[in-house]
Structure 1
Amino acid sequence: MDQDVAEDLVFEVASGIGRVTFNRPQARNAFTFEMYERLAEICEQANSNQAIKVLVLRGAGDKAFASGTDINQFRAFTTPQDAVDYENRIDRVLTTLEQCRVPTIAAINGFCTGGGAGIAAACDLRIGTRSARIGFPIARTLGNCLSMSNVSRLAALVGPARVKDLIFTARLVEAAEAAAIGLLTEVVDDLAALDGRADEVARLLAGHAPLTLNATKQAVARLQKRLTREEGEDLIVMCYVSEDFREGLDAFLNKRAPQWRGR
């Protein structure tokens, strides 16, 4: 494993609990492509290692759970296939997380946006602090779009109307509302309480019947109809290959407001 990835995404196992820490606090724990792949590897490890009973995901520092994909990862995009490959990667990683054999808990403090919010939505439980802010602000930042799998997963969690509300308004949902609409399963006061509560829930689940938990995860997944990746590729290409996406990327990196043109 590459040393930089090991430092950016820390994985430790103790007493049956696997703890995954997104460790780029200087970048609000924004994900590189290598970090996505490492997260998938950890889920596969949990699938094969019966000693791992539960996974807890958290962000380092006190500012963010994860703020999505590091914008610099997009600078090399030049073809429609680059966009399709990127969203296919995200679909694959988040599906691996969602289908992980063991229960997964997202411990959310501060910003949880874009791909970070996608990771949280793919977890089984989401515990957040009162300072948690969750959303998909892509309509005011980059002008890209979610994949069909991500839209399906989010719609199953909060409903189609809420998906439109979240993405159309590009707002970040505060903790109380997030709990009310299903983005959070529980709210605690602060970061110290979050760490304690996440560990408490993890220990509880680690002591429960693993086949019951796994069967319940699979049953819920079978209830949710998903469209294929291919059914959404035209939408991905439309957004990522657009002039607007390039404008959004340049505006974000230069800290200015984007000028959308719809093409």
Structure 2
Amino acid sequence: MNETRTLEADLLYEVRDGIGRITFNRPQARNALTFDMYRRLAEICTGAGKDRALKVLILTGAGDKAFASGTDINQFRAFKTPQDAIDYETGIDHLLGTLEQCQVPIIAAINGVCAGGGAGIAACCDIRIGVKTAKFGFPIARTLGNCLSMSNLARLSALIGAARLKEIIFTARLIEAAEASGLGLLNEVVEDRPALDRRADELARLVASHAPLTLRSTKQALLRLQLKVQEDEELILMCYQSRDFREGMDAFLNKRKPQWTGE
């Protein structure tokens, strides 16, 4: 069993047996996100591709009230110039792009309110499961009166459609888990927090057992389609010229379980 831990007051990161678990750890504030938490999350996702032992990430929030309720409003008190607003949205776009580009699959285990920046983060994860009390939304039209960047709007509209996205933002409502499942915001709904943790671990072990290059190329190719980038030759060659592809063929023909290395 391999195990590493990074303990920071507001964000916890643990890796065990190839599965990394990131926890937003401000339950007293419904896991509202600070700028330092955004920065640390981006660092973890950037470094994930450099650790061959890491196969999958689970992203969740502490407690049973919230995954992440958005950016901590106190963070905005430091804004003094127009550039502060531009820099903030640019930073959010960078973080979400880092999640999308992360070399390993990311599972969001959503345990309550998932709003604002938290909903943006969840939308960029590869698989989203949530408890039946989970709620999604961007209630900025009735709270701060700010907006989402065009890049963030593009990500969300690609996921649920522009018409539905406008309705959600214009009404500033939070979507219940059953509706979120129908929209594709949730892949699966479970009963409660213990069931969520069990299912997230089960999914993570399943995904971690599969060929890393297949998962990576699929993730990258779908992102390129979203961005209307039609170049995939190096992704095809990455898989078909890999040791894993030869290992997969040999294992299949010899009726044994393949030993994936990501090479």
* TM norm structure 1: 0.83
| Mapping for residues 102-181 of structure 1, pairs under 5 Å | 102-181=104-183
- Residues 1:215 and 1:182: Cα distance change in structure 2 (over 3 Å): same
Q: Who is 2:89 aligned against?
A: 87
| Mapping for residues 70-81 of structure 1, pairs under 5 Å | 70-81=72-83
Q: Who is 1:61 aligned against?
A: 63
CA distance in 1, matches of 2:113, 2:67: 6
Given residue 39 of structure 1, which amino acid in structure 2 is its aligned partner? L
Does the 8 Å CA contact 2:45/2:99 hold for their aligned counterparts?
A: yes
Question: Are 2:220 and 1:218 equivalent residues in the alignment?
Answer: yes
CA shift digits 1:169-218 (9 cap, x unpaired) = 11000000000001111101111100000000000000000000001101
CA distance in 2, matches of 1:9, 1:76: 22
- Residues 1:68 and 1:5: Cα distance change in structure 2 (over 3 Å): farther
**1:78 Cα offset (Å):** 1.6
Q: Who is 2:47 aligned against?
A: 45
Does the 8 Å CA contact 1:135/1:173 hold for their aligned counterparts?
A: yes
Q: Who is 1:35 aligned against?
A: 37
Does the 8 Å CA contact 1:133/1:173 hold for their aligned counterparts?
A: yes
CA distance in 1, matches of 2:74, 2:155: 26
Does the 8 Å CA contact 1:5/1:34 hold for their aligned counterparts?
A: no
CA shift digits 1:97-154 (9 cap, x unpaired) = 1110000010001100000000100100110000000100001100000111110110
Given residue 161 of structure 2, which amino acid in structure 1 is its aligned partner? G
Tell me which stretches of 4 or more aligned residues in structure 1 moved more than 3 Å. none
Select 2:13's aligned residue among 11, 14, 20. Answer: 11
Does the 8 Å CA contact 2:107/2:125 hold for their aligned counterparts?
A: yes
CA distance in 2, matches of 1:199, 1:165: 34
Given residue 101 of structure 1, which amino acid in structure 2 is its aligned partner? Q
**SS of aligned partner of 1:61:** coil
RMSD: 1.2
CA distance in 1, matches of 2:213, 2:21: 21
* TM norm structure 2: 0.83
**1:76 Cα offset (Å):** 1.4
Stretches of structure 2 that go unaligned for 5 or more consecutive residues are 1-5, 229-263
**1:225 Cα offset (Å):** 2.9
CA shift digits 1:52-98 (9 cap, x unpaired) = 10000000011100001000000111211000000011110111011
**1:45 Cα offset (Å):** 1.7
CA distance in 1, matches of 2:80, 2:46: 31
**SS of aligned partner of 1:95:** helix
Does the 8 Å CA contact 2:7/2:13 hold for their aligned counterparts?
A: no
Select 1:189's aligned residue among 191, 213, 223. Answer: 191
Given residue 126 of structure 1, which amino acid in structure 2 is its aligned partner? R
CA distance in 2, matches of 1:103, 1:199: 13
Identity %: 71
Given residue 198 of structure 2, which amino acid in structure 1 is its aligned partner? G
**1:5 Cα offset (Å):** 7.9
Larger RCO of the pair (alpha carbons < 8 Å, separation 6+):
1
Question: Are 2:203 and 1:201 equivalent residues in the alignment?
Answer: yes
**SS of aligned partner of 2:163:** helix
CA distance in 2, matches of 1:138, 1:5: 31
CA distance in 1, matches of 2:224, 2:46: 20
CA distance in 1, matches of 2:7, 2:92: 17
Given residue 220 of structure 2, which amino acid in structure 1 is its aligned partner? Q
Given residue 27 of structure 1, which amino acid in structure 2 is its aligned partner? A
Stretches of structure 1 that go unaligned for 5 or more consecutive residues are 227-263
